Structure formats: C-alpha cells, structure tokens
Structure 1
Amino acid sequence: MESTYDADFYAWANTQAALLRSGRIDQADIEHIAEEIESMGKSELRELENRLARLFTHLLKWQFQPNRRSRSWTLTIKEQRRRLHRHLEQNPSLKAKLEQAVLDAYGDAILEAARETGLAEETFPPACPFTIEQILNDAGPGNEP
C-alpha cells in the first residue's frame, strides 16, 4: 500500500474506496485513509479562513477608502458573505471554530488590504473591528447603498 500511496495517489484512492465499499476493511490502508480524512477537514477550515480574509480585505478597503467604493467591492462583499453562509451550512461544526478563524483571517486581511490600497498596515485596527453578526449579516458593513 505504501508505494501506491506515494507513487500514484489517484490509484491508491480508488483502490481504498473499492476496498471499503466491498467491506474489505482489513485490507485497507487505514492509517493513510485517516490521514487523508483529517486533511480534508483541515481544508474546510482553510476555506473558511480564506473566505473571511477576502471579505475582511474588502470591508477594510470599504471603510478606509470610502472615495474609491465601487460596485465591484459591494458585489465581492455580498459574494463572500453568501459563500461563507453556504460553507457554514455545509460544515456546521466549523461554527465552533469561527472565532479563531476570524482572528487568523483578519491578520491576513490587514496585509492584503495594505498591499491593495498602498496604506500602511498600521492604518487598520490591530483587532478585527467587525462582530460575527456584522460579518455574516447581508445588511452589514459594505452593503450600504
């Protein structure tokens, strides 16, 4: 199993799926299967953090560059909120990780907002100024007419 896992992941994955479906669990590569399942869970958390960071970047730009607000920014904010809602609906256990994900994503957003706006990192609040309710609320910051 080890050599197939390392040499041809696609073949390994299909073999493991067939073994599990046929009930031949004793022949399955349980250790690597468990590793891959854990990796999938981490991927869902990364997706949450990426969505939050993209949303925060645009919310910071919206807040700190009001003269540059555009329909594109508004639509990006709305899109990211929709995607966040959907991601959390599909992975409800991630709600327990939301507070930490906000902290991690906000730090990334400061760097991205500074890069995109040309403003100094220190321009932006060091702690996330948005509540969970504002982050997820379609009528929250960034959706003003």
Structure 2
Amino acid sequence: MSNLYKTDYTAWLGQQRELLAKRQFDQLDIDNLLEAMERRMGDEVKELRAHLVVLLVHLLKYDYQKRILKDPWVEDKVLYTWIPSINNPRREIELHVEENPCLQPNAEEIMANVYPKAKRDAIDELNRYIKIKSKRLNKNSFPKECPWSFEQATKKNWLPGD
C-alpha cells in the first residue's frame, strides 16, 4: 500500500478513501495519510501566499507610480493598465479564501510574511526601467512593513491613495 503512495498517488488516495468509506481503519496507510494531509494543508497557505505576492507587487508599483512619480503621462497612460493586474489576484484570493475559510483568521499574518518578498520583487521590476543608477529604488523606497491591511488590499475597487 505504501508503495502505491509513491508510484500512483491518485490510485493510493482512491484506495484510502474507499477504506475510510468501508470503515476499514486497520488497513489505512496512516503514516502516508498524515504526510499527505500535512502537505495539503500547507498547499492552501502556499497558494494564498503566491496570490498575495502578485497582488502586493502590483499595488506597490501602482502606489509608487501614482504617489512618488506623479507623472501626468503615467497617470493618463499607465495607471489604468494596472487595474487588471490588481483585480486578477484579488479574484483568486477571494475564491481561495471562500473555498478555504480556515485561512481567514491567519490572512493578516500570511500577508505580513510575504510582504518582504513582494517588496523585493516590486523594487526589482521597477528598477528594470530605471537606467540612472542614482534613481534606482532600494529597500527604503517602500515601507518596512506592509502599509495596507488584508481587507484593504483585497477589497474590490480599492487602490492605494483612495
């Protein structure tokens, strides 16, 4: 049974489900079931983290261009293009949290934990377009801690500076 876990996970999972349904608890592959459950629980958090990083990167870039650059060309031609990049991960986060409500109580903590990566990514992405070395962004270009709550960042139609 344990060998099937390593060679055909889907078949193994079906087998374990069948054993549970038949209440044949003594035949369950307990060690691998526990491992699979632990990994799956971690997958839900990992997926939320990934969506939050994407959302925060785009919110940081939007905020920087609007608040710091204050360039009328950026305001007229670029900022509106960020809206789909912001709304897409918001939709994914909303669906993911609806499907996994156990994530909601830890959402603020998860967001705080991914913020440093999102900040680094936003700096790297913006610096690709800044050719003058003295104008390049660094870790001090954005707040040390996330300036928005989970509720704000994921709220439909909310944008930094509103």
TM-score bracket, normalised by the shorter chain, equals 0.7 to 0.9
Q: Which stretch has the larger CA shift, 71-80 or 109-118?
A: 71-80
2:78 match = 69
* Distance in 2 of aligned mates of 1:45 and 1:84: 11
The 8 Å contact of residues 77 and 143 in structure 1, kept in 2 or not, is answered as no
| Equivalent in the alignment of 2:150 | 132
Q: 1:94 Cα shift?
A: 0.7
TM-score (norm 1): 0.86
Distance 2:92 2:8 in 1: 33
**Alignment length (residue pairs):** 144
Q: Deviations for 1:78-125, whole angstroms, at most 9, x for unmatched residues? A: 122122122111111111111210111111101110111113232111
Is 1:35 matched up with 2:35?
A: yes
- Is the Cα–Cα contact under 8 Å of residues 56 and 118 in structure 2 kept in the other structure? yes
Residue in 2 that maps onto 1:2:
2
> Are positions 1:109 and 2:122 aligned together?
no
Supply the AA of the counterpart residue of 1:64: Y
Q: RMSD of aligned C-alpha atoms?
A: 2.1
Q: Is the contact between residue 62 and residue 69 of structure 1 (CA under 8 Å) also seen in structure 2?
A: no
Q: Which runs of 5+ in 2 are unaligned?
A: 67-73, 128-136
Equivalent residue number for residue 104 of structure 2: 95
Please give the alpha-carbon distance, in whole angstroms, between the structure 2 residues aligned to 1:22 and 1:73: 52
Question: Aligned partners of 1:44 and 1:133: how far apart in 2?
Answer: 19
Query: Which letter does structure 2 place at the counterpart of 1:136?
Result: T
Q: Which amino acid aligns with 2:65?
A: Q
TM-score (norm 2): 0.78
The one-letter amino acid of 2:87's match is: K
**Could you list the runs of 5+ residues in structure 1 that have no partner in the other structure?**
none
Residues 8 and 83 of structure 1: is their aligned pair in 2 closer, same or farther, counting only changes over 3 Å? closer
Q: Which moved more, 1:51-60 or 1:90-99?
A: 90-99
Cα distance, 1:142 vs structure 2: 5.4
1:100 match: secondary structure: helix
